Amino acid sequence: MITSAIIIIGNEILSGRTLDLNSNFIAKRCSKIGIKLCEIKIIADNYKEIIKEVLKASKKYKHVFVTGGIGPTHDDITALAIARAFKRKLVLNKKAKELLKKHYENSNFELNKSRMKMAYLPSRATLIANPVSAAPGFKIKNVWVMAGVPKIMQSMFLESVEKKLKKGKIIFSRTVKVKKPEGDIADTLYKINKEYSDLDIGSYPFYKPPDIGTNIVFRCSNKKILEKVIKKFCKLLKNRDIEFTVD
Amino acid sequence: MITSAIIIIGNEILSGRTLDLNSNFIAKRCSKIGIKLCEIKIIADNYKEIIKEVLKASKKYKHVFVTGGIGPTHDDITALAIARAFKRKLVLNKKAKELLKKHYENSNFELNKSRMKMAYLPSRATLIANPVSAAPGFKIKNVWVMAGVPKIMQSMFLESVEKKLKKGKIIFSRTVKVKKPEGDIADTLYKINKEYSDLDIGSYPFYKPPDIGTNIVFRCSNKKILEKVIKKFCKLLKNRDIEFTVD
């Protein structure tokens, strides 16, 4: 089992100003490549908090995905905090400098002192390519640090991070959409969950009147078992004359 | 300073199947009533994890807002876990039972054994009214436990939770939308941030070509200081012939 955690750094998420989209994107990709996401934590742009949380997650999980706080402004303190967390110095990374130079030579913007800050990374960090705006993310030990802007983060993850991750056991997932509130099928679910306790069976009611019902999500690494359980569950629903569809 | 944390319980968020909307809703409300949200944690439907995280947050913060896992199905383990966390028994709450009875008498659905499970709550818990589907949330010590379905959670928060929360010092917020990437204004921001280090100044680039720029968010509990700093910042931008709008 390849485990992971996400740490989102951003006052703007905690104030409610911005809806966090990064963790959902990473969560989906992790599911796709068989990496188990165990927790998501959203913390403030706070030096000590970043150090504490990154170290804790780095010890506990195989991978830690961090987003936010690697830009050129005063509130971008992630690189410095993570350098300190791993007792490394923040140094001018020559490769990062070259990438920035090349990018800004071909743009209408100037590679000023503020922007050059983005080339200062923890010593011995590996770069994460940024196909959108050049300023790289970085990897240190098992911690992957990416931009906070969703479009940039996504391109970093897809083009660079994901290619370097070892794939795990894929968990297949199927959803049975039942046209009944979950209270009406809870007993049937108990039965099937007890018989197949290895499976992860989630019950997610939806409530958009007149569309009221429950999505039952079955997750399992063995496709055959998954199909067998789905079949059995559907039979139980049919026996009770309950309408459903299978995705 | 009234502090708080959010704990979202849900495998469906960690698998990426569902985008978490609850924490953004609560974050916005907290900002509105002057409660500082210090962290958000999203964890699995796991008994031990729930106990550990709820206890930790309950000790650290004035309020803890929990969503998810209080329905009638096998994967709804939040009430039991939180009862155990605070060394209380899970008991049939008479008031909750009455609420459910009344609700289901007026509906097409039956108050069966599965649904009755939703009336079993930690002993001495206070109910949180559920204007949508009756099954109540509950409060135990400083932990507010609400439904996971956004529509239901929101009604619980607005109609019941928020009215009982003591309001804190409101943090006023204003945004200056600058039509330049943040690298171009980082030095101006450094200057203003150094002069007013008490203020929370966040720099949030947006990248939707051709719309490229930066939102600068100023947050402060003192409206006069806030306006003064905004004025000063705008003057600095004008001096540099940089376009902007103020929200």
What domains, with CATH codes, occur in chain A?
2-164 (3.40.980.10), 172-246 (3.30.70.600)
* Distance (Å, whole) CA B20 – CA B13: 6
Chain B residues 5-44 with a CB less than 8 Å from chain A? 11-21, 23-31, 37-44
* Distance (Å, whole) CA A54 – CA A141: 11
Under 8 Å between Cβ of B36 and B3: yes
Closest CB to B109: pick one of A21, A27, A184. Answer: A184
Share of chain A above pLDDT 70, in %: 100
Both tokens of residue B5? 């944390």
* Distance (Å, whole) CA A60 – CA A40: 13
Q: B183 vs A31: CB contact, 8 Å cut-off?
A: no
Identify the three-state secondary structure at position B27.
Answer: helix
Both tokens of residue B196? 């007013």
* Distance (Å, whole) CA A97 – CA A30: 31
A9-13 average pLDDT score: 95
For helices B182-195 and B223-239, angle between their N-to-C axes, nearest 10 degrees: 140
pLDDT of residue A103: 95
Q: Which helix (H) or strand (E) holds A132?
A: none
CA dihedral B47, B48, B54, B59 (to 10 degrees): 160
Q: B16 vs A38: CB contact, 8 Å cut-off?
A: no
User: What's the mean per-residue pLDDT of chain A?
Assistant: 95
Tell me the nearest-neighbour CA distance from B109 into chain A, angstroms: 8
pLDDT of residue A79: 98
Q: Which residues of B touch A151 (CB under 8 A)?
A: 207-208
Length of chain B: 247
Residue of B25, B56, B31 lying closest to B41 (CA atoms): B56
pLDDT of residue A212: 87
**Per-residue confidence of chain B (247 residues) as pLDDT tens digits?**
999 999 999 999 999 999 999 999 999 999 999 999 999 999 999 999 999 999 999 999 999 999 999 999 999 999 999 999 999 999 999 999 999 999 999 888 899 999 999 999 999 999 999 999 899 999 999 999 999 999 999 999 999 999 999 999 999 999 999 999 999 999 999 999 999 988 999 999 987 888 889 999 999 999 999 999 999 999 999 999 999 999 8
Sign of the CA dihedral with A213 first, then B65, A59, and B86 last: negative
Strands A35-43 and A2-9: parallel
A98-123 average pLDDT score: 95
Identity of the residue numbered B194: K
pLDDT of residue B246: 95
Report DSSP state, residue A161.
I
How many Cα atoms occupy the beta-carbon half-sphere of A236 within 13 Å?
A: 18
Q: A45 vs B14: CB contact, 8 Å cut-off?
A: no
Q: Testing the interface with A: which of B30, B56, B70, B204 to mutate, by most A Cβ within 10 A?
A: B204
Q: B39 vs A42: CB contact, 8 Å cut-off?
A: yes
For residue A108, what pLDDT band results from cuts at 50, 70 and 90?
confident
Q: Which residues of A touch B76 (CB under 8 A)?
A: 203
pLDDT of residue A228: 95
DSSP string, A42-86: EE-S-HHHHHHHHHHHHHHSSEEEEES--SSSTT--HHHHHHHHT
In this prediction, does ipTM exceed 0.90?
yes
pLDDT of residue A210: 86
pLDDT of residue A171: 92
Backbone region of residue B64 per phi and psi (left: phi > 0; alpha: psi in -120 to 50; beta: other values): beta
* Distance (Å, whole) CA A29 – CA A13: 21
Which phi and psi angles does A57 have, rounded to 5°? -70, -35
Q: A182 vs B13: CB contact, 8 Å cut-off?
A: no
Chain A residues 183-202 with a CB less than 8 Å from chain B? 183-184, 186-187, 189-190, 193-194, 200-202
pLDDT of residue B6: 98
Q: A207 vs B149: CB contact, 8 Å cut-off?
A: yes
pLDDT of residue A39: 98
Residue of B127, B68, B46 lying closest to B94 (CA atoms): B127
Would you give the distance in Å from CA B221 to the centre of its chain?
A: 20
**Residue A147: is its pLDDT beyond 90?**
yes
pLDDT of residue A208: 80
pLDDT of residue B52: 98
Both tokens of residue A60? 């506990």
Tell me the nearest-neighbour CA distance from B75 into chain A, angstroms: 6
Identify the three-state secondary structure at position B217.
Answer: strand
Tell me the nearest-neighbour CA distance from A128 into chain B, angstroms: 19
Residue of B141, B163, B183 lying closest to B54 (CA atoms): B141
pLDDT digits (tens, 9 = 90+) for A172-231: 999 999 999 999 999 999 999 999 988 999 999 987 888 889 999 999 999 999 999 999
Residue identified by tokens 């503020």 is A114
In this structure, the number of other CB atoms found within 10 A of the CB of residue B220 comes to 21
Under 8 Å between Cβ of B56 and B133: no
Residue of A128, A29, A40, A126 lying closest to A86 (CA atoms): A126
In this structure, the number of other CB atoms found within 10 A of the CB of residue B202 comes to 22
* Distance (Å, whole) CA A65 – CA B71: 31
Q: Testing the interface with A: which of B13, B17, B133 to mutate, by most A Cβ within 10 A?
A: B17
Closest CB to A14: pick one of B25, B27, B115. Answer: B27
Q: Which residues of A touch B179 (CB under 8 A)?
A: none
Shortest CA distance from B45: residue in chain A: A202
Identity of the residue numbered B54: V
For residue A247, what pLDDT band results from cuts at 50, 70 and 90?
confident
